[in-house]
């Protein structure tokens, strides 16, 4: 019996006094931060081939996603943004107009194509406002990218950088 008590005490001391190696470090908290650039007074004309090019001061990180939105209207003080590309159809004339975009790590190009530029007029070609929203590409599948407010919230974007050109 004495051996069993001694063995139990030794076992208790061994198991409570021993410390194993430290486990692996857990994943750090994810801090997703995006950026937004706003370009106002964008004019599409034949002189600029109906395109607008904005270069970035510092290049994007490979793996970032670029989303572009056009200010469609302001309703009771609330901005209404539509994602680009977007297409419009003029029911009276049958003309179409499409905003498009492409980007590299160094710039974003926004353009418009139409079967009748004059038919759409300055409401769609002059003084346009666009936002280029840069987010980590991993975020693309977790947020409604058609909703600029949801994108900015998910990417932790608190300010918009208004770019003068």
**Span 117-150, pLDDT tens digits:** 988 888 999 999 999 999 988 888 899 999 999 9
Q: Identify the band that residue 64 occupies on the pLDDT scale cut at 50, 70 and 90.
A: confident
Q: Identify the band that residue 26 occupies on the pLDDT scale cut at 50, 70 and 90.
A: very low
Mean predicted lDDT score pLDDT of the chain: 84
How many CB atoms sit inside 10 A of residue 97's CB? 21
Instruction: Tell me the residue length of the chain.
Output: 165
* Model pLDDT, residue 32: 53
Q: Are 151 and 160 in contact (CB under 8 A)?
A: no
Higher model confidence: residue 49 or residue 163?
A: 49
Residue 10 lies in a domain: no
Which residues lie closer than 8 Å to 141 by C-beta, 6 or more apart? none
Residue 106 lies in a domain: yes
**Span 91-123, pLDDT tens digits:** 888 899 999 999 999 999 999 999 999 888 889
Q: Are 82 and 70 in contact (CB under 8 A)?
A: yes
Residue 62 lies in a domain: yes
CATH number at residue 89: 2.60.40
Q: How many domains does the chain have?
A: 1
For residue 87, what are its two tokens?
């297409």
Residue 20 lies in a domain: no
Instruction: Give yes or no for residue 86 having a pLDDT over 50.
Output: yes
* Model pLDDT, residue 62: 83
* Model pLDDT, residue 130: 97
Q: Are 163 and 37 in contact (CB under 8 A)?
A: yes
Higher model confidence: residue 126 or residue 9?
A: 126
Task: Give residue 111's domain range.
Answer: 35-163
Q: Are 44 and 51 in contact (CB under 8 A)?
A: yes
By percentage, how much of the chain surpasses pLDDT 70?
79
Residue 17 lies in a domain: no
For every residue of the chain, which 3-state class applies, written as one string?
CHHHHHHHHHHHHHHHHCCCCCCCCCCCCCCCCCEEEEEEEECCCHHHCCEEEEECCCCCCCCEEEEEEEEEEEECCEEEEEEECEEEECCCCCCEEEEEEEECCCEEEEEEEECCHHHHCHHHHCCEEEEEEEEEHHHHHCCCCCCHHHHHHHCCCCCCEEECC
Residue 27 lies in a domain: no
Q: Calculate mean pLDDT across residues 152-159.
A: 90
Q: Are 80 and 72 in contact (CB under 8 A)?
A: yes
């Amino acid at each position: 019996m004495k051996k069993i008590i001694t063995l139990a005490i030794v076992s208790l001391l061994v198991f409570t006094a021993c410390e194993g190696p430290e486990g692996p470090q857990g994943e750090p908290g994810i801090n997703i931060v995006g950026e937004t650039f706003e370009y106002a007074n964008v004019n599409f004309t034949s002189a600029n081939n109906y395109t607008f090019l904005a270069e970035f001061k510092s290049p994007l990180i490979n793996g970032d996603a670029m989303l572009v939105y056009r200010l469609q209207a302001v309703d009771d003080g609330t901005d209404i943004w539509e994602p680009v590309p977007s297409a419009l159809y003029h029911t009276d004339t049958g003309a179409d107009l499409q905003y498009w975009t492409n980007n590299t790590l160094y710039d974003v190009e926004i353009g418009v194509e139409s079967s009748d530029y004059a038919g759409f007029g300055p409401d769609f070609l002059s003084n346009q406002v666009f936002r280029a929203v840069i987010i980590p590409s991993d975020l693309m599948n977790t947020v409604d990218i058609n909703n600029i407010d949801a994108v900015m919230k998910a990417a932790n974007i608190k300010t918009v950088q208004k770019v003068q050109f």
